[in-house]
């Protein structure tokens, strides 16, 4: 287990158990809301966007189902360790942070533009996780992956490209309600920007030889 991945998993799990036992009105202040102020009876007052929500929402998950947390942490565990080992902890933290911010900003734009379809918060580490997934495909493009329900191993770059296409189509046509598809895509964009910046400064990060 690499340091940053371990710290992120511990932080997300700890915050989840704090979240499920906390006052929902307090938790609402750290979820990502659209621009503006809205009266929300479930939280006993007004809620709306605040700048810190771009980061804090990435450490909150759906309190109604622990599966949301477990899936994100499992993906971070599976792919984050190799990415952090290859690029170093400091670079990995930059990449994860940029993915979170870009994912949150993308989701903020989308939910604000479609606010007439209902006001609700966004939570989850998926923006950061999808950024890590993109970095994994860039650094380990030929690593074989099995993506459920397809039983055939495929190169990482093929699988991640497929994820991106599915997220884009699902986001445009809204085939899965309640899933922040544009946060996922934004996370990939944030990671791509960091990887491009790093490649221009010191050369692209390379996977260790085996």
Any idea which residue has 């690029």 for tokens? 87
Catalytic residue among 99, 184, 199, 209: 184
Q: Which domains does the chain have, with CATH numbers?
A: 3-202 (1.20.1540.10)
Selecting among 126, 177, 181, 209, the annotated active-site residue is 126
Mean residue pLDDT across the chain: 85
- The answer to whether residue 184 is catalytic is yes
- Label the pairing between strands 45-48 and 144-145: unpaired
The per-residue pLDDT for range 46-85, each reduced to its tens digit, is 888 899 999 999 999 988 888 889 989 999 999 999 999 9
Encoded tokens for 180: 């922040």
| Exposure string over 124-147, b if 16+ CB within 10 A, otherwise e | bbbbbbbbbbbbbbbbbeebebee
Given a contact cutoff of 8 angstroms between Cβ atoms, the answer to whether 136 and 84 are in contact is no
In the prediction, which pLDDT does 176 show?
Answer: 54
Question: Is residue 181 among the annotated active site residues?
Answer: no
């Amino acid at each position: 287990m690499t340091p940053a991945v371990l710290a992120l998993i511990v932080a997300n799990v700890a915050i989840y158990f704090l979240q499920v036992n906390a006052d929902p009105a307090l938790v609402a202040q750290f979820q990502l809301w659209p621009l503006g102020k809205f009266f929300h009876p479930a939280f006993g007052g007004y809620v709306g966007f605040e700048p810190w929500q771009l980061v804090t929402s990435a450490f909150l998950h759906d309190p109604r189902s622990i599966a949301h947390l477990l899936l994100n942490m499992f993906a971070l565990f599976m792919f984050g360790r190799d990415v952090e080992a290859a690029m170093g902890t400091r670079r990995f933290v930059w990449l994860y942070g940029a993915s979170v911010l870009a994912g949150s900003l993308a989701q903020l734009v989308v939910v604000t533009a479609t606010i007439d379809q209902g006001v609700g918060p966004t939570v989850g580490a998926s923006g950061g996780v999808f950024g890590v997934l993109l970095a994994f495909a860039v650094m380990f493009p030929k690593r074989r992956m099995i993506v459920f329900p397809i039983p055939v191993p495929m190169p990482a770059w093929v699988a991640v490209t497929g994820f991106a296409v599915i997220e884009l189509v699902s986001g445009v046509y809204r085939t899965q309600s309640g899933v922040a598809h544009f946060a996922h895509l934004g996370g990939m964009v944030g990671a791509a920007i960091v990887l491009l910046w790093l490649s221009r400064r010191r050369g692209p990060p390379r996977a260790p030889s085996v």
